[in-house]
Structure 1
């Protein structure tokens, strides 16, 4: 399930995963897991990512309509 839009925002801004990993002081594999939605960043990390990318944190989240299952 896709929960974040980090990959989309990186693409829109022309920023590499390697660059983001360096700015966050995280390994490339951790950032890659976030980008590929294999792992989700903590709320604190989501805010750090948004600050580095200069976007609102909500812009990094998938906007799914709430549907009752």
Structure 2
């Protein structure tokens, strides 16, 4: 989300979720339901495939 200039708080508010939920998704402690991926992609203006690609943990 950093590259899109959005914060966890902004995404949480836009989706009607808690910041804690977004934090868990970003930390890979939990995964969002598939239905939410579309909403996240739309909000962040990214292709949904980018949300599904594995993270490069360098």
Same fold by TM (over 0.5)?
Answer: yes
What value does the CA root-mean-square deviation take over the aligned residues?
1.4
CA deviations on 1:9-61 (whole Å, 9 max, x unpaired) are x0111211000000010011011111111000011011110111111110112
Runs in 1 of length 4+ with deviation above 4 angstroms?
A: none
What 5-or-longer segments of structure 2 have no aligned partner? none
What 5-or-longer segments of structure 1 have no aligned partner? 1-9, 65-69
- TM-score normalised by the chain length of structure 1: 0.72
- Higher relative contact order structure (alpha carbons within 8 Å, sequence separation ≥ 6): 1
- TM-score normalised by the chain length of structure 2: 0.85
How many residues were matched structurally?
A: 55
